[in-house]
Structure 1
């Protein structure tokens, strides 16, 4: 992609390793362990500071982490994903910066959306998926993203995904696309 540079080394290798480990863990245990997230955040801060200097590196780290956090937080608040998924994209963002994190999130949404549709179709639950999406959209627009109006009723889930796998796929896809 023109104008879409790959982050300097060792960032791509570190990010690839971290998302593969977290995706594997999410597949096996349906959890993304906090020690991996913390180690990734600390490692990203050290590498960003080493590559760009303490101030510029800290700004890049913070902007990327904040972008990853902000992009997935609404889905967590609407009960569409788990906190580990939000923290994982936050960690990825700390490594790659805000611009690439935005593109990784877009790729992740496409991958996760296709995977969700395939899962719902395989289970014969597309109608339930559409109903849940309508409720979430209506709920979000009526209440903002506030839970102050009370807890929403439990939705009839069509099944959950280890979304860390979608985040890993989106991350690796964007990294490999930038290599071309």
Structure 2
């Protein structure tokens, strides 16, 4: 699988700053502020329009944002990640477009999955993880909008990671790989 070409400057530099700031705040506060994401989205739109013109830039911005959103939304709906993580991938997608967003999401899933698995193993919570996965798989057809709607208690978490860090690592890895 070949990587899409690196987007023109200032896109890589801006995305690097965005994901480092988001990951830093996610580590420190366990949230990614909407203000950071809103500034990132507006700046991405301005840069995309500047680089590609109003129509093509707007389409590239929207397609990347929608793709980033769609890739992580199912995990949010299954309560596997927070809304800030989904919005961060949406914002990264707005900067880099759908093709690179897909590669970034794959790298992010790999990094986040390995990190989460290492956390579960180090805490001795593998049995709880398996039970949680069985419960989730058993109820995948009817995901309630709220836990109280179904009368079924959500499984106890086996540990959470600041997923903004995984998104940052995946983004940096893909951007670096595209330069070589």
Give the TM interval when normalised to the shorter protein: over 0.9
**Given the alignment of the two structures, is residue 83 of structure 1 paired with residue 83 of structure 2, yes or no?**
yes
State the alpha-carbon separation in 2 of the partners of residues 50 and 30 from structure 1.
Answer: 34
State the alpha-carbon separation in 2 of the partners of residues 6 and 23 from structure 1.
Answer: 22
Counterparts of residues 48-63 of structure 1 (less than 5 Å): 48-63=48-63
CA shift at 1:139, angstroms? Answer: 1.9
The aligned counterpart of 1:23 is: 23
The aligned counterpart of 1:120 is: 120
CA gap of 1:158–1:41, structure 2 versus 1, over 3 A, is same
Residues 67-87 of structure 1: per-residue CA shift (max 9 Å, x gap) = 010111111111110000000
How many residues are paired up?
A: 178
The aligned counterpart of 1:150 is: 150
Counterparts of residues 97-176 of structure 1 (less than 5 Å): 97-140=97-140, 142-143=141-142, 145=143, 147=145, 150=150, 152-176=152-176
State the alpha-carbon separation in 2 of the partners of residues 151 and 42 from structure 1.
Answer: 41
State the alpha-carbon separation in 2 of the partners of residues 8 and 146 from structure 1.
Answer: 43
Question: Helix, strand or coil for the counterpart of 1:28?
Answer: helix
With structure 1 as the length reference, what TM-score do the two structures score?
Answer: 0.94
